Structure 1
Amino acid sequence: MCSQEGEGYSLLKEYANGFMVSQVLFAACELGVFELLAEALEPLDSAAVSSHLGSSPQGTELLLNTCVSLKLLQADVRGGKAVYANTELASTYLVRGSPRSQRDMLLYAGRTAYVCWRHLAEAVRSEDERLQFMQGLQDVWRLEGATVLAAFDLSPFPLICDLGGGSGALAKACVSLYPGCRAIVFDIPGVVQIAKRHFSASEDERISFHEGDFFKDALPEADLYILARVLHDWTDAKCSHLLQRVYRACRTGGGILVIESLLDTDGRGPLTTLLYSLNMLVQTEGRERTPAEYRALLGPAGFRDVRCRRTGGTYDAVLARK
């Protein structure tokens, strides 16, 4: 990818994620995060903030860490815990009573203007939501698929199964990058039917599509299983259940490739990953995780030699072996 294209793609992602940044700001104002920290006698940890606000511990910690990444809050570690305080920006513009406070304007923007803007495209919407989602993922993997699949050498795995593989975009990238391999796309019937009607991967003789629910139905036997943007949808318990099923189906000597956006070790970055984690909080029961948290899921499922590799892009790779 040339640098100009890379810069353009980065700018496009910045625009696309802009609504998430706005919602972090609006939610923190709505909940009273900045007032609470302004009135506190000392910086507070996430548990104290959660207790004062009556909010969920996990969601509060995610929100606070995202505010740190946005330079709305600052974090220090005391006694092994992160504690949070307002930055000068927040103290000046986001606290009620400040001479330069913009809090009321932001609350209006979040409660009224934002709700109106979400209907902007209704008049021209024509694509089925599931098809549009699959097309969106295909767009992502068209630019980032080859990079994340090249994070590790996958040539030792002749048969690769992409669980929840949707349109087959990653499977197609696999067989292009590793010509000696074949790929299986495993997804629910409705998704497979759409893929066969609308996406070119279904026409590639090296790729086959299988219908099923990966939580309940028998998984195809394979040398490598790819879970791309799958585990972040689910709780730890459901992830563990799925990983155990994958381990049992995997051929001896095979492995699993987890493709997700990895949080930093301290959970306070990168900003894009924090925004995605908040998105999971809003839309699913899952979250983004740190490398250590993925190791903690893969190890008990039976996988060994867990290696995490950052790609420099949006998505990173975690490879483990059976």
Structure 2
Amino acid sequence: MSIKKEEDRSYPRKILDYMEGFLVSKTLFAACELGVFECLHDSERPLSAAEVARALGTSEDGTERLLSACAGLELLSAQRGDEEVLYRNTEMSDRYLTKASPQSLYHSIQYNSKTIYLCWHYLTDAVREGRNQYQKAFGVSSKDLFEALYRSEAEMVKFMQLMNSVWNICGRDVVTAFDLSSFRTIYDLGGCSGALARQCTMAYPECTVTIFDLPKVVQTAREHFLSIEDKRILFHEGDFFEDELPEADLYILARILHDWTDERNVELLTKVYRSCRAGGAVLVVEALLSEDDSGPLTAQLYSLNMLVQTEGKERRASEYRRLLAAAGFSHIQVQRTGKIYDAVLARKQ
């Protein structure tokens, strides 16, 4: 064995990377929160740390260190000027980290920083207790999951902004994983901001999509997220566990089933089956775990997040097949997109 290989074996690079992973996340979070990427996007030329600090009202020393770290993470490009280092956004940062970009992940980052990160402080307790950690993280009861999730209007808007940015990035992949053009009347249960409904109407111009969600969510979606000019996106106020579901050709459950226990999911899917027209279907959108527990890592980490935040978990395709079959659905198909979220289509004969 070479000396180089022996040295590599004695240096725990991967463990060190994992141990310090939160430093990377918080660097990204802080840069977004302070407005670093907006500042550089708005500038017509690269800026020095001193110029960015003056624009943001931050310390020059702290700003220089933050910009240097962002350059190391390839979120910024750095070039040496005559007397100082000058910074500008990378193409990736301009596209995904500035608020005005159609593909912005800014609000997802804010939600991760301000909400999810605080819940994960109690991950050890969540594993010990087997339940979410809203009580410890925010001092609110999680007896009603969405009362905890939407514990204030500001928190509800933050969550809706998170979902909006997620579906602006991933929505088209999941609504086109199968050909849904034969389904004209679609209900998006828990449709939140309407971003996935919008992706659906763009992909299938002949369909109408109704967002079925809690009254306060529908009101906020109408006011802040969707244009009233889009006549193919409608609204229905209700609680899908408590209220009757209108008849439709297709129901979309996107990032819904992972919030709940198997028992609650069979209850919901049975309601969907009963309301679904003959020949209709349900489209389940989730991050699917592999059958042999080998990954994907993102879905495995998301499942831990479900532990600290909800009553549910991420599941394997076979588990969703069992839940759908238990509710009466058949001809269950699975389509992996190669990205975060996958699609499962099940039909009612």
2: CA distance between counterparts of 1:176 and 1:204? 11
What does 1:107-126 align with in structure 2 at a 5 Å threshold? none
**1:196 alignment partner, SS class:** helix
Matched, 1:163 2:176: no
Partner of 2:211: 185
The CA deviation at 1:203 is: 3.6
Matched, 1:286 2:306: no
Divergent runs of 4+, >6 A: 12-26
Matched, 1:303 2:329: yes
Partner of 2:241: 215
The CA deviation at 1:127 is: 7.7
Higher relative contact order (CA 8 A, sep 6+): 1
Partner of 2:173: 147
The structure with the larger Rg is 2
Asked if 2 retains the 8 angstrom alpha-carbon contact of 1:21 and 1:275, the reply is no
Partner of 2:344: 318
Q: TM-score with structure 2 length normalisation?
A: 0.59
The CA deviation at 1:267 is: 2.8
Asked if 1 retains the 8 angstrom alpha-carbon contact of 2:119 and 2:309, the reply is no
1: CA distance between counterparts of 2:188 and 2:220? 16
Distance 1:217-1:272 versus aligned 2 partners, 3 A rule: same
Asked if 2 retains the 8 angstrom alpha-carbon contact of 1:148 and 1:311, the reply is yes
CA shift digits 1:7-53 (9 cap, x unpaired):
x869x79989799899989967x99xxxxxxxxxxxxxxxxxx9xxx
Matched, 1:138 2:178: no
CA shift digits 1:43-78 (9 cap, x unpaired):
xxxxxxx9xxxx46x79xxxxxxxxxxxxxxxxxxx
**2:158 alignment partner, SS class:** helix
2: CA distance between counterparts of 1:302 and 1:188? 26
CA shift digits 1:92-111 (9 cap, x unpaired):
xxxxxxxxxxxxxxxxxxxx
Matched, 1:244 2:270: yes
Distance 1:193-1:24 versus aligned 2 partners, 3 A rule: closer
2: CA distance between counterparts of 1:141 and 1:202? 19
1: CA distance between counterparts of 2:284 and 2:187? 12
- Give the aligned residue type for 1:198: H
Partner of 2:281: 255
Give the root-mean-square deviation of aligned CA atoms. Answer: 3.3
The CA deviation at 1:216 is: 1.2
1: CA distance between counterparts of 2:271 and 2:334? 21
**1:300 alignment partner, SS class:** helix
The CA deviation at 1:151 is: 0.5
CA shift digits 1:160-202 (9 cap, x unpaired):
1000001111111111110011111000101001111111254
2: CA distance between counterparts of 1:26 and 1:248? 40
What does 1:8-87 align with in structure 2 at a 5 Å threshold? 55=128
**1:184 alignment partner, SS class:** strand
Matched, 1:195 2:252: no
Q: Number of paired residues?
A: 230
Asked if 2 retains the 8 angstrom alpha-carbon contact of 1:184 and 1:210, the reply is yes
Asked if 2 retains the 8 angstrom alpha-carbon contact of 1:157 and 1:223, the reply is yes
CA shift digits 1:103-134 (9 cap, x unpaired):
xxxxxxxxxxxxxxxxxxxxxxx981101111
- Give the aligned residue type for 2:272: V
Partner of 2:258: 232
- Give the aligned residue type for 2:318: A
> Unmatched 5+ residue regions in structure 1?
32-49, 60-125
> Unmatched 5+ residue regions in structure 2?
1-90, 98-104, 132-151
- Give the aligned residue type for 2:176: A
Q: TM-score with structure 1 length normalisation?
A: 0.64
Asked if 1 retains the 8 angstrom alpha-carbon contact of 2:186 and 2:207, the reply is yes
CA shift digits 1:225-265 (9 cap, x unpaired):
00000000000000000000000000100000000000111
Asked if 2 retains the 8 angstrom alpha-carbon contact of 1:229 and 1:259, the reply is yes
1: CA distance between counterparts of 2:121 and 2:208? 46
1: CA distance between counterparts of 2:92 and 2:282? 31
